[in-house]
Amino acid sequence: MAALEVVEIRTLDGANIFLPRPAIKIQLRADPAPPPAALAAAWGRCAAWLRAARPPGQPGAEPEPGGVAGLVWSVATALHAALPLPAPAGGVFAADGRPVAAPPPCAPGGVVVAFDWAWRSCAEGLARQAVAAVEAALAGRAFDAGGALGALREALARDRERGDRPLWVRDADRRIPIVSITGTNGKTTTTRCLVHLLTAAGRRVGTANSSGVWIGAEQVLEGDYTGPAGARRVLEDPAVEVAVLETARGGILLRGVAYESNDVGVVTNVSADHLGLQGIETVEQLAGVKGLVVRLTRPEGRAVLNADDPLITALAGQVRAPVTLFGRDPEGAAIRAHLAGGGRALLATGGWIVLAEGGSRTPLVALDDVPMTFGGRASHMVENALAAAAAALGCGLDPPAVARGLASFRNSPEQNFGRLNVFTLREPACTAIVDYAHNEAGLAHLLAFAGHYRRAGGRLIAIVGTAGDRPDATLRGLGRLAGAGADLVWIKETARYLRGRTPAEMNALFAAGGAAARPAPGQYTIAPDELTALTGALAAAREGDAIAMMCLEQQAEVLALLAERGA
């Protein structure tokens, strides 16, 4: 007999990868898949139960034959009709949001039944009752459809009395423009840079990012607010003139997006990070998740995409808005084709940030005059500057205002806390670079950038570590990058971000990756936290060395220690 497993029933309060509106997600697995005869019998039982429970003369849908997931969807549709509620939008989807024709849900992550909703507890109860009916039908057990419908009607009445509706901001109810920024790396820096550009141009900005929520210059919430709660706090504040929202993968998948549409959507890049979570197994699937931000950009708005990342460039075919590309390769095929069609692009070329539109080229500002790029040496910061400039133009800023803003934004703790903050120490005469790098792409950028600060005879010292909810291959990959690129490596443990791992398990994976890249006895030192790792690295540092530190957990303490050392 097939065992129907409910992976989760989740309430999504806003637009999501399944529907552009609030949805109930039912994630299912059935292994082995039930044979056709068992499915047909289950369909017949569900149809009979619902037919008998419907009041006489009330029209209503009946379940249709199909796979297990298709049967759950069909029962949910029939329950809507019996309540009665409008027929739901939705259907059967792969876990990454792609519609499927109701195959047996045995694939990794299973399949998802998703339907839109208007009343919270009724919709959640309806999902549970649809699953319960199908489970009972597959097992040959009785199911009280009349009792289920009675409970759902009571829940619907309570919801209507309390006004328990989806927590999202409809276009008809919002009064300010929204800029939404996503990507694997660079979200926070791009968000902060854009806030600076808009503020310098006289706009009162509300922003939510991985460090908190700000209304103008005042921080009103502290913590990671890259999900819908932070966005709603910004959108509800009457003092805000424009919202700039960092939008992370987790919020999209776990709660949905807090609004119906945005005016400017930005996707910085995509790389392997957080794979194996919420049914997202590949970088291609991850790009689809992040692409929701630009799919929600209104047709009169502007979608901003990284032309140097093929998975991001491909999102252009999914959006309703005009596209601005940005990139460091002005001769790339995507850029050339886009400009040949009269499109807009922000380019880094000839030492300048250039606005290109069709055949015209307008130099905005020299990279030497954009502090966050370190004269162009920080290639990933060049991309962030381009993305922020493109978004600012999409918000209506003119090119001179964009240039002035870029010239006054720095990767300092005051303006871009914990992101590529560079410190010069006098004793010993070395450089320490603190960054929020937390995946392989981030560490690769950090090590390449730190190499510019290693003077003749100096060494590169790496401090590495990340959260435990990464696959083994990612942790080994971080160790491999550090082992190949650094002369000394500190592996720093985490207490806050173990997420089911043990420190010993993570240390072993980091060290295994490093040993595979460059076996060297004594090359690795284990530290119990970030502050201890930095203290050890500073004690070991010599004149001309450069220290590259992945810092996620103790940023304030780390920066304070460097200040105490005279950095």
Q: Reading across the β-sheet that carries 344-349, which strands appear in turn?
A: 218-222, 212-215, 205-209, 242-246, 178-182, 262-267, 297-306, 323-327, 344-349, 352-357, 360-366
Of 36, 61, 421, 18, the closest CA to residue 253 belongs to 18
pLDDT, residue 277, reads: 67
Q: How many whole angstroms separate alpha carbon 279 and alpha carbon 277? A: 5
CA-nearest of 266, 76, 117 to 188 is 266
Q: Which two tokens stand for residue 166?
A: 């989806």
Kindly give the parts of the chain with pLDDT less than 50: 1, 63, 65
Read off the tokens for 306. Answer: 């990284």
CB 425 within 8 A of CB 567: yes
Provide the 3-class DSSP secondary structure of residue 285.
helix
Give the pLDDT confidence score for residue 1 in this predicted structure: 44
pLDDT for 67: 78
Rounded to two decimals, the pTM is: 0.90
Residue 49, pLDDT score: 84
The predicted pLDDT at position 408 comes to: 97
What would the pLDDT profile of 546-564 be if each residue is shown by its tens digit?
Answer: 999 999 889 999 999 999 9
pLDDT of residue 47: 84
For 247, phi then psi, to 5°, come to -125, 110
Complete edge-to-edge strand list for the sheet that includes strand 111-116 = 4-12, 23-30, 111-116, 90-94
Q: What is the pLDDT of residue 29?
A: 83
pLDDT for the residue 41: 87
Would you state the pLDDT for residue 102? 57
E strands along 117-261, which residues?
178-182, 205-209, 212-215, 218-222, 242-246
Is there a contact between 558 and 531 (Cβ–Cβ < 8 Å)? yes
Query: How many angstroms separate the CA atoms of 335 and 386, rounded?
Result: 14
